[in-house]
Structure 1
Amino acid sequence: MSEPTRRRRRRADVRRERRSLGIRALRVVVWTASSALLLGCGATWFAYHTLISGLTTSDALDAVRKKAPPHLDDAVNLLLIGLDSRKDMNGNDLPRQFVQKELHAGSSSIGYYNTNTLILMHIPAGGGKVQAFSIPRDDYVQTLNGDGSAQGHYKIKEAYANAYAAAHDKYAQQGVKGAQLEARSREAGREATLATVQDFTGVPIDHFAEVNLLGFYDIAHVLQPITVCLNHAVQDRYSGADFPAGVQQLNARQALAFVRQRHGLDAGDLDRTRRQQAFISSVTHQLKTQGVWASPSKLQGLFDTVKKDIVLDSSWNVLDFAQQATNLTGGNVVFHTLPIEGFALRNSQDVNLVDPEKIKAMVRQEFSDTPSPTATAADTAPAAPAVVDVHNGNGAEGDASTALSYLVELGYTAGVTDNAAVQPATTVVYGPGAQKAAQQIAHRFNAAAPASSSAVPAGHVVVTLGESFTLPDPKASSPAVTESHASSPADSGPAVKAGGVPCVN
């Protein structure tokens, strides 16, 4: 064989080997990609199946959608229902020692099936600001059954219990027993609550979630410690609340006491409502800052609690909603409390008087694209004289300068900016003669009540920004003075803005 022939054969062999290697490599790539895809799909299916297979779901919305008011836009309206029940999902009493020691909630015979928490959230379809309304539990309204028939005029919290009791009697007479009797009776209670809230607010409900005292405790137990902030020290033997003023961290038992206290508060139930709003804000802020959404172990703890204690409507795609959760934890929620017109005695009970048409107009205004005017006479008060120093205590460079510029535009005198140790909430301290300015600034920055300090020069206010700090709307009017006063009957109180740790009474 000639040398040229041998060289041609060697080149041919090399080309065949390269093709063979390329084919093997391509097979490996295809096999690897296929395996990854199959494993990924399998893992996604497994995670989804694991989550939804254990959920307790309800079809209660099916009964009320037929008579629901029309949608104002493409947003989603979500109702959060908090039951005061001391029973488990099957209607069994919770252990007595647990109810008394951990829940500090008396006995299992208290509370029955009243809805002590009703929060209606309006979540824009394309993201953006979420508007939420808390409905005071003692509002005296026309309550409905799930089919739209009238129960009569009762406290709005009683719609669930009234329907539950009627359904329980009816199904028991038909021979239904045990867990099935409890499930059917509760479903009637949910239908009544959904129908009543839709009728009262004038907007449809797309999804809902229901949790009882045990569920709240279990959620707090997964996430504890929970950071909260109080304007004043409180002590209440009924709820077990015993907390100093200022920023503090609570365990699950303390967190439940925090949201349940109403005795000893200036505005009673209305202050308790703002406690619940502040708690949700603190928890969502914690979910974001602690990276819970990216932690499989923490998520698993939350999922286990959801399966055990929470009821969701059957049409709710929880994975789709989880993708929106980061928007809800990013400080994009504003909590309002529906106003009342006064107090009265009805059916031998103390109730809140309300104007249903006024309520509907307010909800429609906030849930539509047109913002409602919020300025009041107090909002136009001029800035009190003071020199303001601002310290960065939130770990974000430049925020102190931005906050000081904002305050100067309102009429305060510019002091200095500096850095400080990171802290959860914004604080305000003042020297002699600067109390009024400090009150205005604390209100504007949603901070705790300001404190006097001998270390602050006369006429000066020192603001230390916390992690919860968000710059107020620069288009808002001049700061209102925040002073201790009892809320008037029609005063729903200031809005609670999420995104941090708001200070409340």
Structure 2
Amino acid sequence: MQSRGRNHRTVFLVLMRTAWVLVCAAVLVASGLAWSTVSSISTGVERSYAIPDDAPRSSSGRNILIMGLTTRLDLHGEPLPDDVLRRLQAGESDRGGYNANTLILLHLPASGPAVAMSVPRDNLVPLSSGGEGKIKEAYGRAKIAEEDRLRAAGTHEKRTLERAGREAGRRAQVQTVSAFLNQPIDHLVEISLIGFFHIAEGLGGVDVCLKNATKDPLSGADFPAGRQHLDAGQALSFVRQRHGLPGGDLDRTRRQQAFLSAVARRVQDADVAAVQAMIDMAKQDVVLDARFDLTEFARRLPSEVRFDTLPVEGGAHVGGQDVNAVDQAKVRAKVTELATAPPPPPPDDGIPCIA
């Protein structure tokens, strides 16, 4: 038993340096716990076929699209338990829809540091289903269209509609982001709102630092200035807040990045039991594409990731909605630049404070 414990701990410590990406989906954190757990994780996690086998592949490494959904429903379209909804502080189960409010393109190069590029959710872009819309809407629009098509053809079983609709949503979101950035997508990771909550809960909360006190009743955020420890519910409010921030939704994007960095720091101090607990959580919160080989992924992870946010040109009002105006050429040039020369690492002076 001692030998087995030492082996688990050795693998755990070696892989902590790669926790920055593993925590993007709790299942990937869990895969770093011990090689012996990878098989059980792979069989327990929902798999998607939204990226076909003959889809274009990146020639300069690997591109992973991480999608965070706003839905308050589980993977089968069922409402979360009332006590969980109360702890989420995110309203009733019918709120949120299926927008991809978090979109991160994680580029893993053949060598050197990786870069996680946040795609602002309100960018006005061509959608794969036709027409223009906010980039976050590709998933939900395609889901609704597919479910309507199936109902018209005589399919009415709820879980069948949910599964098919979400697969259509994933395909549309991958295609929309890929076309907008002019980058092939090799893999996808989907995690819903409850998944962010479970990550923080499994680790006993996270530590962040704010430049100013802030309060937003819509997200439940109520934080003083300075360094502080957030429990799972507070952490979810932290990543959801956009009202009352000087940069609005772009500041929320930076908070998502700060959350991932905070989780990475937290994982470094967590014990094996805490990370093991996240395995079971991952199986109900995370979807991976069918070709995602967790063993190979964990073995080939680079030692460092750097965050950046893709540029917008400013706000615009189109079709009754506030959107981000974007220069597609500039965005694509920035992606190429970041993929070949990631931003410098932040100063190693503890937890950086953000707005």
Q: After TM superposition, give the deviation of residue 175 of structure 1 in Å.
A: 3.1
Give the CA deviation at 1:356.
Answer: 0.9
Query: 2:114 — aligned with what?
Result: 130
SS at match of 1:61: coil
2:125/2:135 contact within 8 Å kept: yes
Residue identity opposite 2:351 in structure 1: V
1:59 aligns with 2:31: no
Counterpart check, 1:275 vs 2:255 = yes
Residue 178 of structure 2 is matched in structure 1 by 198
Q: CA deviation at 1:94?
A: 2.1
Q: How far apart are the structure 2 equivalents of 1:258 and 1:48?
A: 31
Provide Cα deviations, 1:376-402, integer angstroms capped at 9, x if missing partner. Answer: xxxxxxxxxxxxxxxxxxxxxxxxxxx
Q: Are the counterparts in 2 of residues 282 and 502 from structure 1 also a CA contact under 8 Å? A: no
SS of the counterpart of 1:271?
A: helix
Q: Distance in 2 between matches of 1:97 and 1:305?
A: 16
Equivalent position of 1:317 in the other structure = 293
Instruction: Note the alpha carbon deviations across 1:260-301, whole angstroms, 9 max, x for none.
Output: 0000000000000000001101111222x2155xx2x23321
Matching residue of 1:84 = 70
Distance 2:328 2:134 in 1: 13
The structure 2 residue matched to 1:365, chosen from 333, 337, 344, is 337
Q: Supply the distance in 2 between the matched residues of 1:244 and 1:121 (Cα, whole angstroms).
A: 32
Gaps of 5+ in 2: 1-33
Which of 298-307 and 128-137 deviates more?
A: 298-307
Secondary structure of the residue aligned to 1:232 is: coil
What's the offset of the Cα at 1:319? 2.1
Tell whether 2:285 aligns with 1:299. Answer: no
Q: What is the CA–CA distance in structure 1 between the aligned matches of 2:265 and 2:299, rounded to whole Å?
A: 16
1:337 paired to 2:301? no
Deviation at 1:316, TM superposition (A): 0.7
C-alpha contact (below 8 Å) 2:113/2:342 kept by paired residues: no
Output one character per residue of 1:64-87: Cα deviation in whole Å (capped at 9) or x when no partner.
x53x4x6351x1111110000011
- The Cα of 1:113 is off from its aligned counterpart by 0.4
Mark the CA change 1:94 to 1:160 in structure 2 (over 3 Å): closer, same or farther.
Answer: same
Distance 1:217 1:117, change over 3 A: same
TM-score, scaled to structure 1: 0.60
2:237 to 257, 262, 280: 257
CA-CA distance at 1:225 after TM superposition? 2.2
Aligned residues: 321
**Shift of the alpha carbon at 1:174?**
2.7
Deviation of 1:172 (Å): 2.1
Q: Displacement of 1:123 after TM fit? A: 1.1
Task: Mark the structure with the bigger radius of gyration.
Answer: 1
1:62-112 CA-to-partner distances (Å, cap 9, x unmatched) read: 17x53x4x6351x1111110000011111112234532x211112222210
- Counterpart mapping for 1:357-396 below 5 A: 357-368=329-340
Deviation at 1:46, TM superposition (A): 6.2
Relative contact order (alpha carbons < 8 A, sep ≥ 6): 1 or 2 greater?
2
CA distance in 1, matches of 2:38, 2:265: 25
Question: Amino acid of the residue matched to residue 165 of structure 2?
Answer: S
Alignment of 1:197-276 (within 5 A): 197-276=177-256
CA distance in 2, matches of 1:51, 1:277: 25
Partner of 1:504: 354
User: Hey, what's the Cα distance between the residues in 2 that align with 1:83 and 1:157?
Assistant: 9
Report if the CA contact (8 A) 1:139-1:354 is conserved: yes
Contact preservation (8 Å) 1:234, 1:241: yes
Does the CA contact (< 8 Å) of 2:73 and 2:93 recur in 1? yes
**Cα displacement (A) at 1:223:** 0.9
Matched, 1:71 2:58: yes
Among 152, 162, 169, the alignment partner of 1:173 is 152
Q: Which amino acid aligns with 1:103?
A: L
| Unmatched tracts of structure 1, length 5 or more | 1-43, 146-150, 375-443, 447-467, 470-499
Change (3 A) 1:236 1:313: same
> After TM superposition, where is structure 1 displaced by more than 6 Å over at least 4 residues in a row?
none
Give the TM-score normalised by structure 2.
0.85
State how far apart, in whole Å, the 1-side matches of 2:333 and 2:79 are: 41
SS in 2 for 1:132: strand
Q: Deviations over 1:164-185 (max 9, x none)?
A: 0000111122333121211110
Could you tell me which residue of structure 2 aligns to residue 4 of structure 1?
A: none
Indicate if the aligned counterparts of 2:58 and 2:185 stay in contact, CA closer than 8 A.
no
Answer yes or no: is the 8 Å Cα contact 1:72–1:367 preserved in 2.
Answer: no
Q: Does the residue aligned with 1:263 lie in a helix, a strand or coil?
A: coil
> 1:459-478 counterparts in 2 under 5 A?
468-469=348-349
- Equivalent of residue 158 in structure 1, options 137, 146, 150: 137
Contact conserved, 1:168 with 1:185, CA < 8 A, in 2? yes
Q: Following the alignment from structure 1 to structure 2, what is the Cα–Cα distance between the partners of residues 318 and 298?
A: 20
User: Which secondary structure does the structure 2 equivalent of 1:117 belong to?
Assistant: strand
**Contact kept? 1:56, 1:312, Cα under 8 Å:** yes
For the structure 1 residues 323 and 305, does the alpha-carbon distance in structure 2 shift closer, same or farther, using more than 3 Å as the test? farther
Cα pair 2:203 2:270 within 8 Å, conserved: no
Matched position secondary structure for 2:236: helix
- The percentage of counterpart residues that share the same residue type is 43
Alpha carbons 2:239, 2:252 under 8 Å: kept:
yes
Q: Does the 8 Å contact 1:226/1:283 carry over to 2? A: yes
